[in-house]
Each structure stands twice: as structure tokens, then as C-alpha cells.
Amino acid sequence: MARVDFANPRMPDGSQPRSQLMTLNMGPQHPSTHGVLRLKLLLDGEIVVDVEPVLGYLHRGSEKIAEGMHWIKFIPLTDRMDYLSAMNNNHGYVMAVEKLLGGPEEQVVSERAEHLRIFAAELNRLSNHLFWMGTFMLDIGAITPLFYALREREEILGFMEELCGARLTFNYMRFGGVKYDLPQDPTYLDRVQAFLDRMPAQVAQYQRLLKTNDIIVSRLVGTGPLTREQALAWGITGPMLRATGVAHDIRKAAPYSIYKSLNFDVPTTTQSDCYGRLQLRWAEMIESVKILDQVVDRLRNRDLDGLHLNPDYAGGKILRVKAKGEAYVRTEHPKGEYGVHVIGEGKQNPVRVHVRAPSFANLQALPIMARGQKIADLIATLGSIDIVLGDVDR
């Protein structure tokens, strides 16, 4: 990320500024920086000349902490990285450790457990996108959409609570499976299915309310543009990349878990601005519902093999014996590509855990998107990236 030369400022086109520019430190205490992000702004009136994101205010050293604790004890800490999509964090980490433990031909995770994982992960993707939509609307000044989004998210959290007992930091996945099988309640999947049946209509409601609103259109269209080349050069992933027209989704590009057997599309758009990203995430919600429909159908009607947790991997012994070498796994997180790199030496602690956080990588694009725009656009652009500071700083 290029540093901004505050002592000798230049306009976005490289020319000398005509008037004295103002430096403004937006954050770390600011209502719209989604946590404790600090933006050093160089402003010419309302126009953002340059931005420099300053990170680290929520740095908890998670990756270092991992080195001092048992492999399995790090799972709850992954919950706390991107706390809005904890299931997806869990999934990436346990997959990385499983790759370390077992060879590719070895059946570590049963089919049933894989379905439970995707069930949880896709529900979480839905809830992440819902919350993103609400907070994004908050950023451009509309408060009520948040509550419409939270209405559906609450239901999802209710399902999650029944599944694993927690509503935010789930700590659900384990090496070799998941912690709990489906709830005892026989109506559970029926209720989930009823919710899924309703969800497309709810998305249609958001679209009806937000898509053609004049103020929303004038605020979002053309705001925070990002070209395909820029996105690829900066390593942008997830909805931000797909909004530039690149149909890159790890679930399709390098299918993991059971995604190969599921039927879904990767929505893309070429309208790479805040408006396009909003549309794209709506389309992704619909796709998640499609995936969930299939997974729920299989969980109900098919006799899926295996236990929800492979007992061979549940204990700590196998980790001490087999957790040797390196493994890198990438998964499609709601915010982008989520990579986990683990190194073990056959002890009960990892030697190194590194997380490639999508929020962190995507945040890099903020300066190139926001330069030359208005302050209000900067806020909208930042919102459209979908960052969680827990994920940026870790």
C-alpha cells in the first residue's frame, strides 16, 4: 500500500495542489470505519485527494497465540477473526489441519460431516451478506434497511444456536468433522427449509426497496470504481473481484468439500462500483439459498454415510503423531479468498499458522478506489469492500 506523502502532497493527477490541503485522521474512533480502522485522509474541501489506511488497532496477535496453544484450541480463535462469518473461518482452519494430517486419498471427513459443514458455512455466508447490506446502507445514511436485514439474520442465528449453541462465535467445526450432529428436534430441517423458501422473496423485497431508490442510485452508481486489471493486480478476491467481471470463486475454481457435487452459479457483473457490488451480493445470497436447498434436501432424504465426527481425529493423539509438515488451504469466504497456512512439527502446538485474510487484502484497494471522490463516497466505498477489522488485523 503506497504511503501518502503528507508533507509534499500531490493531487490525484500528479499536479501541484492549488490550495492548502487538509489532513484528517478518520478513525480509529469513527462510526463508519467498521471498527477501529484509521484512515489518514488528504482532503481538498470535500474531495479526497489521497487515503492511507492505518491498521493494527485491533491486532490481537492471533497467529502468534496459535503457536503457544494446542491445535484444537485455536479453532475458537478463528471465530474471532472475522466474527461475522465464524463458520467460514472454522472451515478454512480445520481443512488446513486435516490436509496436514491425512493424505489426499484418506477419507478424513465423512460425507455427512461435509454436508453439515457446507450447511453451516453457507448459512453463515447468507448472514454475512445480510449484515453487510444493513451496515452498507447505514454508511450511506439509511438506517432502517439494517433492521430488515437483521430480521433474517436473527433467524439464521437462531438456526446456528440450535446447531451449535452459539450465535456469533460458533466454534462448530473440528478436525475430522463437526462438533454436533443436527439438532434432535425433528422439525429443524423443515424450519430451515421454510426459511430458505422465503428467502428469495425477502431478497426481492430488499431489491424492491433499495434498487431503484433515486438517492441510492445517485449515491452508489459510479462510486468506488475498480477495473479488472487493478483488482487482479492488487489481489482482490471475493465479491469485489467478481464485480469486475472475473468469475473467480474457489468453490468453482478449486472445488473443496462437496461443492463439486452441488449445482450453483458464480454471479458476476461488470458494473464495478458500489451499486454493482450491492447487486452482486444479492445474487450471491440467492446462490447460497440454492446451495442450501440442495444440502438440506440431501440431509433430509439421503442416508449420508458416516458419523458427524471422525473419532480417529477427535482426540489429540493423532495431532502429536501426524501433524508434520506444511499445508495451505484456500476457501471461498463470504468476503473473498480465505487461505490458511499451517506448519507443524508433530507436536501438539502448531509451529506457525498464517491466515490470508480477505478483508486485509481487499482493503488495499481502498486508496485507488477512493482517490478523487467525495468524503461521502469514500465512506460508501469503504462499506462496499465488506471489511471486518478483526479479520484485517487478526
Partner 1 sequence: MGLTAWTDSLLQRAGWDAPHWTDLLIASLVGSVIMFTVVLSTGGLFTFAFRRIFARMGQRPGPNRVGPGGILQFLADGAKLITKEDVRPAKVDRLAWTAALYVAVVFTVLAWAPLPWGEGVWFANVGTGILLLLAMGAIAPLAEIMAGWGSNNKYSLYGGVRAAALDVSYEIPMLFAVAAVILLVGSLSTNDIVLSQAGVWFIVPQIVGFVIFFITALAKAGLVPTDLAESESELVAGYTTEYSGMRFGMFFVVIFSNVFFVGALATMLYLGGWQAPLGQTFPILASFLGPATGVFWFAVKSLLMSFVVFWVWSTLPRVRVDQYLNMAWRVLLPISILNFVGTAVVVRLFQTGVL
- Site residues (CB under 8 A) for partner 1? 22, 24, 30-32, 46, 137-144, 146-148, 151, 213, 215-216, 218-219, 374-377, 379
Of 88, 106, 202, which Cα lies nearest the Cα of 155? 202
Beta carbon of residue 315, minimum distance to partner 1 (angstroms, whole number)? 46
Q: How many CB atoms lie within 10 A of CB 301?
A: 9
Shortest spacing between CB 137 and partner 1, in angstroms: 7
Q: Which is nearer to partner 1, 17 or 141 (CB)?
A: 141
Q: Given the complex with partner 1, which of 46 and 326 has the nearer CB atom? A: 46
Q: How far is the CB of 22 from partner 1 (least distance, A)?
A: 7
Q: Across the strands, what pairs with 356?
A: 339
DSSP code string of 7-33: SS---TTSPPPSS--EEEEE-SS-TTS
Q: Which is nearer to partner 1, 116 or 216 (CB)?
A: 216
Minimum distance, C-beta of residue 277 to partner 1, in the bound complex (Å): 16
Backbone angles phi, psi at 352, to 5 degrees: -155, 135
Q: How far is the CB of 3 from partner 1 (least distance, A)?
A: 21
CB 378 within 8 Å of CB 47: no
CB of 249 vs partner 1, minimal distance in Å: 30
Q: Report whether 48 contacts 296 (CB < 8 A).
A: no
Is the Cβ–Cβ distance between 28 and 359 less than 8 Å? no
For 19-36, b/e burial (b = at least 16 CB within 10 A) is: eebeeeebbbeeebbbbb
